Chains A and B, each alone.
Chain A
Amino acid sequence: MATVRTPAGASDTGPGQPAGPAGPAAAGLPLGGGGGGVTGARSMRRMGRAITANRKATVGVVLLALFIFVGLFPGLIAHDNPQAEIYPRSLGPSAQHWLGTTSFGQDMFAQVVWGTRPVLLIAFGVGILATVVAMLIGVAAAYLGGAWDGTLNVITDVLLVIPLFPLLIIIGSYLHGAGTAVMIAVIAATGWSYTARQLRSQALSLRTRDFLNAAKVRGERPLYIICVEIIPTMTSLLVAAFLTNALYAVLFSSSLQFIGLGNPNVTSWGTMLYWAENNEAFQTGLPLWIIVPGLCIVALGAAFALLNYAFDEIGNPALRPVKRMAITKAGAVPIPEKRRRLRVKRTG
């Protein structure tokens, strides 16, 4: 019979190589660290390094930061009141009016600059709201299972199937012109279903992971498990959901405003497009009135999309492009794309 005490000092301390798959199969570090016990500074630094290393992330962050800056301090950049119809109408670009004036006599540049804030508000508002709803519904459905899962799934699927834009048109026209807050609510209420599906799948795959069983066996309540144990491990997916929802918010809100269902008195890129279209901007020689707000919408959308790809790659090392290296006298050096030879893949 074994009655040996663990010999003193003979514990397997020291990190060393974790016993597990051979080779340096790195345990993917969770993005951003997550909840209790992680120092904010450390995870910020790690995130910073990850962003500068990835080209897509860098471009996306720079673009987004630019727009956020413009949205926060529009007065610093454009001194004119965007609504004031005080200038000569339909001027082309000049030193005083960098983009010219609209056919109402408003400074177009000021409009674009001041129009940034509502768009950003909608993007972030919908991003956060829709993600939170999707998270609660998706994760609860996966974890609680059974009848809960069935019911929540039906609700999610119904919303998923209904075409989003026509639904928004109907709701928008019913509300007779949606301001920013209403726009956020409406887009979030109809758009959460897509990401709810994704989060549910992820949560389902986590459900069989033993650390959730371990939490249950130690006596935690289901709500605690969902909030504290499951959700922090899904940070990269939640970030992706946020970015997806923000992107769609930008596009959908601008579209709604373009067809006149937004509040035309709020200056934003979408309403600029609306007024420009109504005043036949192309035909009257004011193409910038349409082009510039359109480009801004594209740029902001691209920023979110780039960040989405980038966070995928940061969060999941398996998705990163594998640089082939060659051994030279200088050490390991990346081989440029063209010279790669195709090799049979090895799994694991």
Chain B
Amino acid sequence: MSSAPGEEVLSAGPADSTATMLEVRDLSVEYLLERGTVLAVDRVSFDLAAGEFVGIVGESGCGKSTLLFAIAQLLAPPAEITGGSVIFKGRNMVGLTDSELASVRWKDLSVVMQSAMNALNPVKSIQAQFADAMRAHGVTSKAEIADRSAEVLRMVGIDPVHLGSYPHQLSGGMRQRSMIAMAMLFTPDLVIMDEPTSALDVVAQRSLMVQIKELQEKLGFAIIFVTHDMSLIRHFSDRLMVMYAGVVAEYGQTGEVFESPMHPYSIGLMEAFPSIRGPRVPLTGIPGSPPNLARIPPGCRFAPRCPKVMARCEAEPPGLYQVNGRLVRCFLHEGGRAQP
């Protein structure tokens, strides 16, 4: 399922969008282990416009978190970016040193992690952590730090009286919100979120998603949101990318991907969610497991589990084909390839 070089990329965002803020081209990430290399992300390309909300969904091992960290330049050995570029506001971030990245980090691009309890410093108060972050980026005035801290907390719906609290004194939902507040300190243009709601209960999850969406509409930043829960993202993201085994399986407008999924994996994934309303129907899920990324089979990576597999799929990896504004990596839609 590896893409052919120079193949097309869906151009960014809705028709009336302005500048393309992020261009990811042929990004590949490998885990370089002594016993061999594991290709976690294989030549992924996509664009992101200012203010756009892109969701990346996939199951364990599909590479979505690795992709996210690669974009944020947060990979540590043995993971390495082994190819491609991440052009953020005209500048390729791959290969920049930490000091070069420092000017971009948190001011233009910030990251919200999966578990606030892991990402927040347990021995420092929220206030101290916000102050830390601001001082690291050149803000020295105590008054300014205090004002901004209170302001971002209010933005996420937390009473600033909690500034003096420690992370363990806050509830799970409040901790996640403070993480988001911290990410908002410099009103970045792009916020990357790695499953920020998965540690929360369903009610807290819902209210956090709505909060994020409101913030985005108010402040106008773009979001890349990684999750394994498609149904969560359905009403919030503009476009949706479905990843499988390190490659993009499908990419398009969220609503369209949900209404009429094209890739057999997306179809299977949609149907694996039992519905809380509507008719009760028996479902089958997707039998089998994702492939071992250390030994990638030739041909399509989804072929062993695909209900619509053809002989060709096992021999040859499909390219990414464009069909009515949707990108699908499947031979079934090969006919839709637009003329170069």
Give chain A interface residues in 293-348, CB to chain B under 8 Å. Answer: 322-325, 327, 332, 341-348
Q: With A322-B78, A325-B78 known to touch, is A346 a contact of B69 (CB < 8 Å)?
A: yes
Flag whether B293 is at the interface (Cβ < 8 A): yes
- Kindly supply a per-residue 1/0 record for chain A positions 13-53, scoring 1 wherever the CB is within 8 Å of any chain B CB and 0 otherwise: 11111111111100000000000000000000000000000
At the interface, yes or no: B282 with Cβ under 8 Å from chain A?
yes
Chain B nearest CB: distance from A12 CB in Å? 6
Interface residues of B in 47-97 (CB under 8 A from A): 59-66, 69, 73-80, 82, 97
Tell me which of A24, A327, A346, A347 contacts B33 (CB under 8 A).
A24
A332 to B35, CA, bound (A): 10
Complex contact B293–A17 (CB within 8 A)? yes
Known: A7-B287, A23-B38, A24-B33. A325 touches B80 (CB 8 A): yes
Cβ of B291 and Cβ of A16 under 8 Å apart?
Answer: yes
Pairwise interchain contact A4-B282, C-beta atoms closer than 8 A: yes
Interface of A is mostly: loop
Q: Does A1 sit within 8 A of B, measured CB to CB?
A: yes
User: Hey, what's the 0/1 contact readout for B285-319 against A, CB within 8 Å counting as 1?
Assistant: 00111111110000000001000000000000000
Contacts A12-B288, A16-B291, A341-B97: A322 and B280 contacting too (C-beta < 8 A)?
no
Known A-B contacts A2-B280, A325-B32; the reply to A24 vs B38 at CB < 8 A is yes
For the complex, give the distance between the alpha carbons of A332 and B37 in Å.
8
Interface mask (A190-203 → B, CB under 8 Å = 1, otherwise 0): 00000000000000
Q: Say whether B291 contacts A346, CB under 8 Å.
A: no
**With A4-B282, A24-B38 known to touch, is A344 a contact of B289 (CB < 8 Å)?**
no
Task: Say yes or no: A344 contacts B294, CB within 8 Å.
Answer: no
- B-facing mask of A70-106, CB < 8 A → 1, else 0? 0000000000000000000000000000000000000
Inter-chain contacts of B283 with A (CB < 8 A):
2, 4
Q: A217 on the interface (CB 8 Å rule)?
A: no
B217 within 8 A of A: no
Contact residues in B for A23 (Cβ distance below 8 Å):
31, 38, 40, 61, 65-66, 79
Cβ of B59: which chain A residues have Cβ within 8 Å of it?
19
Shortest beta-carbon distance from A6 to chain B in Å: 9
Q: A16–B282 contact, CB under 8 A?
A: no
Q: Does A11 contact B (CB under 8 A)?
A: yes
Please give, as numbers and ranges, the residues of chain B lying within 8 Å of A324 by CB-CB distance: 77
Q: How many residues of B contact A (CB 8 A)?
A: 42
Residues from chain A with a CB closer than 8 A to the CB of B16 are: none
Q: A234–B69 Cα gap in the complex (Å)?
A: 34
The answer to whether residues A19 and B287 also contact, given A4-B282, A344-B98 and a CB cut-off of 8 A, is: no
Q: Shortest Cβ distance from A110 into chain B, in angstroms?
A: 46
- Residues in B with CB closer than 8 Å to A341 are 97
Q: Would B62 and A22 count as touching, CB distance under 8 A?
A: yes
What's the Cα separation between A322 and B82 when bound, in Å?
Answer: 18
Assuming A23-B79, A24-B294, is B64 touching A346 (CB within 8 A)? no
CA distance A22 to B76 in the complex (A): 14
Q: Closest CB-CB distance, B187 to chain A, in whole Å?
A: 22
- Asked if B171 is at the interface (CB within 8 A of a chain A CB), the reply is no
Give Cα distance in the complex from A342 to B101, angstroms: 13
Q: Does A284 contact B (CB under 8 A)?
A: no
User: Least Cβ distance of A246 to chain B in Å?
Assistant: 30
B275 an interface residue at 8 Å Cβ cutoff?
Answer: no
For the complex, give the distance between the alpha carbons of A92 and B165 in Å: 75
With A23-B40, A344-B76 as contacts: A14 and B32 at CB distance below 8 Å: no
Q: Is the CB of B287 within 8 A of A10?
A: yes
Give bound CA distance, A67 to B340, whole Å: 74
Asked if B260 is an interface residue, CB under 8 A from chain A, the answer is no
- In the complex, are the beta carbons of A22 and B287 less than 8 A apart? no
B259 at the interface (CB under 8 A from A): no
Asked if A3 is at the interface of the complex by the 8 Å CB criterion, the answer is yes
B284 and A10: CB pair below 8 A?
A: yes
On whether A24 and B287 interact (CB within 8 A), knowing A346-B74, A346-B79, the answer reads no
The answer on a CB contact under 8 Å between B76 and A345 is: yes
A15–B295 Cα gap in the complex (Å)? 13
Closest 10 CB pairs of A and B: A16-B289, A325-B32, A4-B282, A10-B287, A346-B76, A24-B38, A17-B61, A19-B60, A345-B76, A332-B32
Known: A24-B33, A327-B32, A343-B75. 20 other contacts (CB 8 A): A2-B282, A4-B284, A10-B287, A12-B288, A14-B304, A17-B293, A22-B40, A22-B61, A23-B40, A23-B65, A24-B31, A24-B294, A325-B78, A327-B80, A327-B82, A332-B37, A344-B74, A345-B76, A346-B75, A346-B79
13 pairs of residues in contact across A and B, judged by CB atoms under 8 Å: A2-B283, A14-B304, A15-B292, A16-B289, A17-B60, A17-B61, A17-B290, A23-B40, A23-B61, A23-B79, A344-B76, A344-B98, A346-B74
Chain B interfacial positions (CB closer than 8 Å to A) = 30-34, 37-38, 40, 59-66, 69, 73-80, 82, 97-98, 118, 280, 282-284, 287-294, 304
Question: Which residues of A are at the interface with B, using a C-beta cutoff of 8 A?
Answer: 1-4, 7, 9-24, 322-325, 327, 332, 341-348
